[in-house]
Amino acid sequence: MKIKFRNVIQLCTTGLFVFSFVSCVSNKTDARKKLVWSDEFNGKGLPDSLKWNYDVGGDGYGNNEDQFYTKNRLENARMEGGNLVIEARKETWGKNAYTSARLLTKGKFSFQYGTVEVRAKLPKGRGTWPAIWMMSENMKEWPDDGELDIMEHVGFHQGYVHASVHTKKYNHIQGTQKTDTLMMKDVSEKFHVYKANWTPEKIEVFIDGQKFFTYENKEKTYEAWPFDQPYFLILNLAVGGFWGGKEGIDDRIFPQKYYIDYVRVYQNK
């Protein structure tokens, strides 16, 4: 989610569109894996500060985003009803016309290889851009040190969920991005489990057990595969931007809420 191509059509034409109804595949994690980190969001108030940091600011984050990301503000990020709620609001904050939140585990938890599961219900409406993604704990240069997008959804293209990787060799700036897309009509009405399996050989992404994206470590070079190092987790709800705001922002939709039921990380026993 660091930077996105201005023309979303190019991203979509490189992806594989799979139209599906509710998957009957089990979401159970392999019994050979153990839970190493999780947040069930069962408390009240601000997110657990022992697990989450915040990115703060309104400079667009390389994507020309329109929101200001706040810190320790219940209106934008809170635990409520067993969920983490990230809320985008139409309100003036400095030079920005919207507020929201971006939570990350950088400096608190990172891991190398494993399975990430996030059960979430997405916001809806033109201008919204929620994501579940990962970046290197040792990030020095983007995209050289890698990025894994487990879930991205832009509100003007309702129901199309994208998964991608970004590396020095494969990224949208060069038109070489690796990405695929799955159509899920009810992503804003129901919770779904977004999952990534990450091994030294490949990265696979699933929704409700249905795999729709695979990126393999075929070339064995850092330029193509920087994913042999610890990565941290990011949850955010952007407003607008080069991709999320490509068809404008509908101010009538706000506030919009992004619900996360849990985040779980497993590794082999």
Q: Which residues are catalytic?
A: 147, 152
Enclosing H/E stretch for 14 = helix 8-14
For the record, the structure tokens of 18 come out as 């799979």
Q: Evaluate whether 150 touches 163 at the Cβ level (below 8 Å).
A: yes
Q: Evaluate whether 188 touches 165 at the Cβ level (below 8 Å).
A: no
ω into 143 cis (within 30 of 0): yes
* Among 158, 180, 157, 167, residue whose Cα is nearest residue 231: 167
Q: Evaluate whether 185 touches 19 at the Cβ level (below 8 Å).
A: no
Phi, psi of 175 (to 5 degrees): 75, 20
Task: Give the count of beta carbons closer than 10 Å to the beta carbon of residue 255.
Answer: 15
Residue whose token pair is 């020309």: 64
Which residues lie closer than 8 Å to 19 by C-beta, 6 or more apart? 183
* Among 60, 38, 237, 253, residue whose Cα is nearest residue 154: 237
